[in-house]
Amino acid sequence: MRTTPIPGVYEVAIGPRLVYMTGDGRYLIQGSISDAEKREDLTEPRRNAIRLDIINKVSEDEMVCFGPKNARAP
């Protein structure tokens, strides 16, 4: 759980999903938080960081890799 710029609202990562919850746990908010003054999406950079972390945990043996159409195997 991480704080957000909104007092009493916290960021919660559930696997690859990112949601927001009030401090008392009563309300769950799905969607993005945007800073209207700065015209900045505050959620998408966090989603990208979570996605990157998940991808970095995948070993090369578990990856499906695509190469050029006429590439030769080493």
Query: In the prediction, which pLDDT does 74 show?
Result: 62
Query: In the prediction, which pLDDT does 64 show?
Result: 87
Query: In the prediction, which pLDDT does 9 show?
Result: 97
Q: How far apart are CA 23 and CA 59, in angstroms?
A: 36
Using the predicted structure, report yes or no on whether residue 61 has a pLDDT greater than 80. yes
pLDDT (tens digit, 9 = 90+) per residue, 18-41?
999 999 999 999 999 999 999 999
Beta strand spans in the chain (E):
2-3, 9-14, 17-22, 28-29, 34-35, 40-41
Task: Map out the domains of the chain as residue ranges.
Answer: 2-56
Using the predicted structure, report yes or no on whether residue 69 has a pLDDT greater than 70. yes
Query: In the prediction, which pLDDT does 20 show?
Result: 97
Query: In the prediction, which pLDDT does 63 show?
Result: 87
Query: Does domain 2-56 sit in CATH 1.10.286?
Result: no
